[in-house]
Structure 1
């Protein structure tokens, strides 16, 4: 449904920081998007992708960033010179944006129906019943179930996929000409991600919407893009049709980005170096009884939730076990039970042969040293008021290590994870996202654990930094013999780092075995569906060419 008329024209756009010594963030970038076309902006963190989207929406933070020159034309108007009233009119009616994290974009104290109603109140003269009918109609368009219930629900009462569909519904409410999507599927599991991408393409076909899609996931680019612009340090280094850029990239930077994309084909199996079992889980169960606490006091009966239901596995020294599945499958609950951050309802957990399932919290301290965790977001897991050194020595000193010895070990660990020794006196905000995750890895290693639980430890990183962190984990594992329980929704990552894979659905173990078997020749239909839903499953990034599907295709619901 593409036409030759550009919906968005960006010409020689220059954006700089404010202040006495301005730094150039966008360096004379230019591109256009036609009706019905999807243009993907790709590049590493800090390349200027999100700044481009904010400038297009007229949302550059005042006092921090300023557009020095160039123009952004939408619907005949230059966004950079438009009055506040004109900008308000352009947003919603002519352009709209889907943000990466709906929980920060949606108001937690208003029902989602009320939030969409506010958009219509601002931009239309419709009556209350007309507005309600339009909101319910757009909820149905984005395939939300039980739209009357959704209308009255608050954001926290919906799943991640449903919240993202609400964001899409809000963006499409006034049928804008341009839809800007800034990493809208990064935090979603492969099935939900597949559904959201299919939904955007469907709505685009129906309404002829132009889409500016920002992502660091090359698989997503294959599935949704017509054209690609590659950004690096605020410049457009390469652009063209998706098959051309991904199939025969001309720039060395683009080639490096594509080389960093992990393959869906499992890596060759590694030989076991030890037969020692460091973590054993038998018939683990976790039931959340919703009738306890406030709900019980209100006498509101709610069915208990079986978050983990009869899960068993064994993890040996130096091996990596991947746990994959959709959101709500019980992956993170399993990790929290293994860490004894929550108490299991039933089953057994043994760390190096020691039973820890029913130990009271007061007796867990000796065992916590043996099993450490790397969290998804280092921004939230590292204390911003503590230096790197203070974060690294906190655990060891709590277990009796002297401060001098702990600091010496901290410097060694920083070198081990590829950071300079002088980083020990700096604060987390002085590092990039990938560097902060390296610090989090060093902190986990400071306790000299036998098992590391990595919960979505690389999902928020761009492909090149992700590849560096995965290589680092592999090297550390080879040197120290640490076992890793790796929780992820990224099947590409699981295929390249895991020796064995455990697939979960609704708390239950669906399939468990060597990665080459589970991901290469899955027996369970659910595992096949997960593999088929993986973005870019039809493209071989190493060869720069399409590949034949291995399983029967899965339709988006």
Structure 2
């Protein structure tokens, strides 16, 4: 199988970075955050900047945008040129003029990047009013046109909508429209698809490629997902600890990586080949869910059409030591089921039995003694851990509430830290003093502190880079095997589900459309919706661990045949 190589040698040079060094403001005593970065991007080219969290990817993008946080980071060496303009020498007013007009950025989380109190149409028009002399009528016409170009439905309605009234994918399309409305020379996309489900992610990646083709834009795409890189990149720069350790065309990087670090990143990418299923133990299930339903809205004769069935007739069991995964797009009902089981919300109907106790109808007071039997690990550990509490207090709180002495709880907390491969002497630290992967390990330790029968992991690895993700999945597997815990694993990434799940449920619009052993559902999907999810998985045709295309793949990344 041969790659089709794209030749950009004759295209116009858009971005040139030479010897870029960024350090902490006001001190020369610490190591630089970036050290001697060199990057070249030409018109129409997509360069992917990849690496683990903390490698310097986002700092590179912020330096290029002139958005390094004042008083915290500053450029101490090198230069950045956007065509004929030297960004490193530009004043604040010159940079304001360049942003959106010559260089634009799509951020990871559009809900925090968009103004929640302004209609999205007004936010796009604001860019036009700042940088053009268009009349109000012309600005609105241009706004509606760019909204249609990014394939938003019913643009007149969405024009008047607020960000919270749109889906995550629609909000990201608004961000793309806002970034491209002035036809910039360079588009910087900083993890724009990380929080999206696979089908929405596929749509956004196709949209960026389509808009790039239409406008000839150079794209600097920042991601930790090598599957996404395989789909979209022309050139790849691999970053580690503030340096570029390898750069190569996509074909060369995927088939013959030169650096150990690059090989490690590629081999950490989960694939769709399901794990070997563990044999059922025959033990009584730790979780039995029957006819579970959750309905929002309604409430009267005149409001029946407002009812939303977030979960309908969901049935499954989980045995000790087994993992059941629930997969589907955003809004499919996955997290609703998890929250009903945890009693974070009350189910409308059905039964939920945890460790032999029916918990669906218990009051909050009646539920309290049973809480220790089922624990949850959330997507964002920084938000689920109290930032004002030390790790020791977070790990000791549950056991102490259930009668364990403080000294015994502290000893147990130290054991838990070692269980998740963290040092005992880190118990006195606070959450912000740990990396994202370490915080997730602490969240797992806190959940296991109660020796639960059931562990619910709600998108527990979706925010982590692939190498840390692999470590956390291995940790969950080890903890589960050691304590015989049953696990409900919620994810939108079928590649992750394939690595950890024994059984899989596929949900669409609140209903279970397919259910069975992971090896059967993921290897031979029967429902067209499951097939569409698998088809949308990034890098699905690539065997990253062995640096080769999978047999029978006719096309990878659209770049070879």
TM-score tier after normalising by the smaller chain length = over 0.9
**2:286 corresponds to 1:278:** yes
**2:536 corresponds to 1:529:** no
> Structure 1 residue 179: deviation in Å?
0.4
What does residue 547 of structure 1 align with? 550
What does residue 95 of structure 2 align with? 87
Note the 1:321-336 alignment, pairs <5 A.
321-336=324-339
Distance 1:36 1:247 in 2: 23
Distance 2:118 2:490 in 1: 33
Q: 1:243-271, CA deviations, whole angstroms, 9 ceiling, x for partnerless residues? A: 11111111011111111111111122222
SS of 2:529 mapped into structure 1? helix
What does residue 25 of structure 2 align with? 18
> Structure 1 residue 4: deviation in Å?
2.8
Segments of 5+ residues of structure 2 without an aligned counterpart are: 1-5
**2:231 corresponds to 1:223:** yes
Q: 1:496-525, CA deviations, whole angstroms, 9 ceiling, x for partnerless residues? A: 100001000000001010000000110101
> Structure 1 residue 410: deviation in Å?
0.7
**2:381 corresponds to 1:378:** yes
Within the candidate set 96, 110, 129, 2:104 is matched to 96
- Check whether the contact 2:541–2:553 (CA below 8 A) recurs between aligned residues: no
SS of 2:427 mapped into structure 1? helix
* Higher deviation after alignment, 323-332 or 302-311: 302-311
Within the candidate set 159, 181, 205, 1:173 is matched to 181
Distance 2:93 2:282 in 1: 68
Distance 2:552 2:458 in 1: 29
> Structure 1 residue 543: deviation in Å?
2.0
What does residue 517 of structure 2 align with? 514
When normalised by structure 1's length, the TM-score is 0.96
- Check whether the contact 1:318–1:481 (CA below 8 A) recurs between aligned residues: yes
> Structure 1 residue 9: deviation in Å?
0.4
**2:397 corresponds to 1:389:** no
Segments of 5+ residues of structure 1 without an aligned counterpart are: none
Distance 2:488 2:252 in 1: 38
> Structure 1 residue 551: deviation in Å?
11
* Higher deviation after alignment, 379-388 or 22-31: 22-31
What does residue 7 of structure 1 align with? 14
When normalised by structure 2's length, the TM-score is 0.95
What does residue 154 of structure 2 align with? 146
Within the candidate set 282, 287, 291, 2:295 is matched to 287
- Check whether the contact 1:372–1:452 (CA below 8 A) recurs between aligned residues: yes
**2:340 corresponds to 1:304:** no
What does residue 353 of structure 1 align with? 356
Note the 1:54-93 alignment, pairs <5 A.
54-93=62-101
**2:269 corresponds to 1:266:** no
SS of 1:510 mapped into structure 2? strand
Q: 1:35-60, CA deviations, whole angstroms, 9 ceiling, x for partnerless residues? A: 00000000000000000000000001
Q: 1:384-440, CA deviations, whole angstroms, 9 ceiling, x for partnerless residues? A: 100000000111111111111111111111100100001111111111111000000
* Higher deviation after alignment, 81-90 or 317-326: 81-90
> Structure 1 residue 486: deviation in Å?
0.4
- Check whether the contact 1:264–1:492 (CA below 8 A) recurs between aligned residues: yes
- Check whether the contact 1:320–1:498 (CA below 8 A) recurs between aligned residues: yes
Count of residues paired in the alignment: 549
Alpha-carbon RMSD across the aligned residues, in angstroms, is 1.7
What does residue 423 of structure 2 align with? 420
